């Protein structure tokens, strides 16, 4: 993660911490994102792991889904301990996934979007862990989740191979733009730049 991105993520996180309602809403969103991730990986296994040759991928998607389910429970415990009764909220993640999921056409592209989304949330998580202002209960939870997410990002990237990542990278960039995490392409010398290549400006939530 670029140092400017780290700084911007830290600035975003400190602002969230100063506003309890915003923090609680973000935690509810995190809970839903973990639940969605659980369902998404099961869906990938169902759609793209038919036949013997994809048995290993089937196990990987199921292994990751089970960890996502566990993460959702951990976040739920945190919601309960903070007295948060809300369970549903409309998050940013739909904006991201509406751009990304159409790119999922095969096993490798499914793994590719998984790898990129996991990588994004992992980067944010590491900033939150390193921030001394992060409440102890939240840091403790992320310290438990972080090693799992690191394995998810790595194993999914291995499964996607360069082909899978290349096929979905533009959709991922479009998703980041939709989230406001990147600036859309700007005109250069009077001509628009090709593709959704863009500058990152901050980071919030994608997974
Ligand atoms: Fe997770
Ligand atoms: Fe994950």
Question: 37: CA distance to ligand 1 center in Å?
Answer: 7
* Pairing between β-strand 191-192 and β-strand 187-188 as defined by DSSP bridges: antiparallel
- The rounded distance, in Å, linking the Cα atoms of 201 and 58 is 36
Question: 123: CA distance to ligand 1 center in Å?
Answer: 13
Question: 149: CA distance to ligand 1 center in Å?
Answer: 6
Global confidence as pTM: 0.87
- Check residue 53 and give its pLDDT: 74
Contact assessment for residue 182 and residue 206, using Cβ atoms and an 8 Å cutoff: no
Q: Which ligand is nearest to the CA of 41?
A: 2
* Residue range 89-143, pLDDT digits in tens: 766 778 889 999 999 999 999 999 999 999 999 999 999 999 999 999 999 999 9
* Residue range 175-194, pLDDT digits in tens: 988 877 777 765 444 444 44
Question: 121: CA distance to ligand 2 center in Å?
Answer: 8
Phi, psi of 42 (to 5 degrees): -65, -40
- The rounded distance, in Å, linking the Cα atoms of 39 and 176 is 22
The domains of the chain, with CATH numbers, are: 3-192 (1.20.1260.10)
Q: Which ligand is nearest to the CA of 149?
A: 2
Q: What is the mean pLDDT of residues 29-47?
A: 96
Question: 118: CA distance to ligand 2 center in Å?
Answer: 5
**Of residues 159, 111, 149, the one with CA closest to residue 30:** 149
């Amino acid at each position: 993660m670029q140092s400017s991105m780290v700084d911007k993520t830290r600035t975003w996180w400190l602002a969230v911490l100063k506003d309890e309602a915003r923090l609680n809403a973000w935690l509810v969103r995190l809970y839903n994102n973990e639940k969605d991730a659980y369902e998404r990986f099961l869906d990938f296994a169902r759609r793209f792991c038919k036949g013997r040759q994809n048995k290993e991928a089937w196990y990987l998607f199921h292994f990751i889904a089970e960890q996502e389910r566990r993460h959702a429970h951990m976040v739920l415990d945190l919601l309960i301990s903070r007295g948060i009764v809300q369970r549903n909220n409309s998050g940013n993640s739909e904006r991201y996934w509406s751009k990304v999921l159409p790119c999922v056409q095969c096993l490798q592209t499914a793994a590719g979007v998984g790898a990129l989304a996991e990588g994004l949330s992992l980067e944010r998580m590491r900033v939150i862990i390193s921030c001394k202002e992060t409440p102890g209960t939240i840091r403790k939870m992320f310290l438990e989740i972080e090693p799992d997410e690191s394995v998810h990002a790595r194993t999914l990237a291995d499964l996607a191979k360069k082909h899978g990542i290349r096929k979905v990278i533009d959709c991922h960039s479009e998703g980041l733009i939709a989230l406001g995490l990147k600036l859309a392409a700007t005109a250069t010398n009077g001509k628009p730049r090709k593709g959704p290549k863009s500058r990152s400006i901050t980071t919030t939530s994608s997974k």
